[in-house]
Chain A
């Protein structure tokens, strides 16, 4: 597992392909046609559920109770932005949408900063126990958050952090750090030794090397980490379910209360779910390369 898996595919030109008969070629072309069709169907299969949610979010309550979203093809006039207007006007939901930002942004920034610092020490400063510490970090990669829910809830209760955005952020930082350190350390160790040696010869302090040499080179890895961590926190339900209260709840927790009457709440739930998806989908489409790399590197999380 490389920290930053290169997505670049190198197609090696193949020499010496045996000459194939007309029949073989026809079969292979036909086979390719079948592959195209099958994969196209698979792709449609993957898109339909999301498309259904989108359409459901664009139809009002009575339309959703009366007929399925697919009837929109015969009745496109039913489409409306009303649900979104209602949801944004709903103070609690809108607040939870903002809370999601208030949680995800600091949790991402803190993880990136702390992990960069720690990774630099693990990669380039020799100290006793460095090996052990690195192995501990690798071990923590798959730690289930369940082991920390009860103790941290108690701890936050004692510190007055329970039910606050700060508490939710801190928990996310703690469980984001192992992967973040793992990813950045792997990248940092790959930076050419000469760069660091030269700076040390010039008498640069560790801080200056970190800031002037490492960080500029590590931008792609930091970008991957930032996007991965941001989406990870944005998409969380469990942590916030335990540590947030009504005023600090992110959108996933706020919407969960509506799940009880799913059939009659489709308009609101689909709209809320789609609202919560807009940010991740946008980030994904714009930064997909970095996100994919982050996920691949963090495969063990």
Chain B
């Protein structure tokens, strides 16, 4: 990738003829880019009103303001993580696409996010990471996987009406029972329409010698007597019940379709009936992706989705310029594909990788829209970045154009090395 050789104009042409060609562009650039740059620099030394000179006051304020410091921290995270990730993923995928026939189609798909707005991409990922598992696909997938390994409880949130204490180990009966007793466990807090279809009407058990018997049913208070088994009420099948003696589980059983349960061989002595918590565990709802702890990684992931296609295409163009002979020579010498990749491809590509990397760093420093759209208002301060903070301070809630100008100048200074990098590369390519 080189510039075409530079040319000199034909001698004898008057420089004045350049003026009409250059004038429109120069006027616009001078008025709307260069003059503003100087203005911002000067403005950054004045206070919010623009009348009082404060020297470096705005900069001091900027570097002590906790909101801006978070923005700085996030920009550092972005710069350290995101460009390297995209360059690495881009390199691997670009090398892999050399081995498939549908490389063009593949690159087209991955390049597509570059064509749409960051705003639209932001909405796309806000939807992807939406917390409710019935809206966000990531949490839906997480919940799906989670429920395979630990199935959801049958009666989430249900609890005994009274006579039981909620403990770590589950709902524990306040009064002890013994063999020969019958107990009733009225359960509330479960929607009647969600009772399993095989449930049968509940009825209190009769006492049996040497056995502890009981019934566990859904106690509907409306249209029934609280705490008593009414004819219309149904037993709750499949609830685990434990008998505990001296802190140890001595027997364990599960309710039948009519809600009845029996402990046959308890022996002598009191036991405490306990309903273990897995019966009533609330369902797993996924993670709060858009909350304060995950917000920056989430936004970075969306940026990776956007920029990877660019990296692949750029690197692939560089790959095609690598002489095939070099690769083949290494293969003939018995190098494995991995060695070829590490010892030949990557070193030969390093100038291209550097350009990609620098480009991505510049892009990352200016990141604005993605944070603006993906981070919900309440966590925007946690996801804050400099470009967003500059807008907030100058035009959003802040209204302080002195501090805003200081942030703009800082942003300019941060991209200045990239500016020099470009100029040097440009000069080198010309000579």
Contacts and interface: CB of A to CB of B under 8 A. Distances in A.
Interface stretch (A79-87, A90-98, A112-120): A112-120
A14 interface: yes
B135 interface: yes
Interface residues of B, number: 114
Interface in B89-125: 93, 96-97, 99-100, 105-106, 108-120, 123-125
Contacts of A11: 324
B10 A200 contact: yes
Interface in B9-37: 9-11, 13, 15, 17-18, 20-22, 24-26, 28-29, 31-33, 35-37
B99 A292 contact: no
A186 interface: yes
Contacts of B40: 147-148, 150-151
Interface stretch (B155-163, B192-200, B262-270, B359-367): B359-367
Contact of B93 (A39, A47, A171, A193): A39
Interface in B207-258: none
A18 interface: yes
Given A142-B362, A242-B395, A234 B117 contact: yes
Contacts of A7: 317
Interface stretch (B55-63, B76-84, B181-189, B418-426): B418-426
Contact of B387 (A144, A151, A234, A242): A144
A51 B412 CA distance: 38
A139 interface: yes
Interface in A35-62: 35-36, 38-39, 42-43, 46-50, 52-53, 56
B15 A126 contact: yes
Contacts of A14: 324, 328
Contact of B25 (A53, A115, A252, A266): A115
B355 A299 contact: yes
Contacts of A126: 8-11, 13, 15
A145 B387 CA distance: 10
A210 B21 contact: yes
A280 B137 CA distance: 25
Given A42-B93, A143-B33, A299-B355, A150 B405 contact: yes
B39 interface: yes
Given A135-B426, A197-B10, A2 B408 contact: no
Contacts of B348: none
A139 B317 CA distance: 24
Residue from the set A126, A146, A270 with the largest chain B CB neighbour count within 10 Å: A146
A281 B405 CA distance: 36
A273 B120 contact: yes
B112 A18 contact: no
A129 to B, nearest CB: 9
A170 B27 CA distance: 11
B292 interface: no
Nearest to B412: A147
Contact of B117 (A56, A146, A237): A237
B70 interface: no
A273 B123 contact: yes
Given A43-B106, A241-B391, A148 B33 contact: yes
Given A126-B13, A150-B408, A266-B127, A144 B415 contact: yes
A175 B28 CA distance: 9
B14 to A, nearest CB: 9
A67 interface: yes
B126 interface: yes
B376 interface: yes
Interface string A63-90: 0111111100000000000000000000
A284 B100 CA distance: 23
B373 interface: yes
A245 interface: no
Contacts of B427: 135
Interface residues of A, number: 121
Given A2-B1, A200-B10, A263-B132, A50 B408 contact: no
Contact of B18 (A36, A127, A149): A127
A172 to B, nearest CB: 10
A177 interface: yes
B278 to A, nearest CB: 27
Given A139-B423, A143-B33, A273 B408 contact: no
B152 interface: no
B85 interface: no
Contact of B4 (A39, A190, A296): A190
B38 to A, nearest CB: 8
A299 B359 contact: yes
Contact of B124 (A49, A64, A206): A49
Nearest to A144: B411
A260 B115 CA distance: 25
B295 interface: no
Interface in A236-282: 236-238, 241-242, 252, 255-256, 259-260, 262-263, 266, 269-270, 273-274, 276-277, 280-281
A292 B111 contact: yes
B114 A295 contact: yes
A171 B22 CA distance: 18
20 contacts: A1-B355, A1-B429, A12-B325, A36-B100, A47-B109, A49-B128, A49-B305, A52-B127, A68-B134, A135-B423, A139-B422, A144-B366, A145-B366, A148-B37, A149-B394, A150-B39, A150-B408, A237-B119, A263-B132, A276-B120
Given A12-B325, A149-B395, A206-B17, 17 more contacts: A2-B2, A3-B3, A17-B331, A46-B109, A46-B113, A52-B128, A68-B135, A114-B24, A117-B20, A142-B415, A142-B422, A144-B408, A177-B28, A190-B4, A235-B116, A276-B119, A299-B359
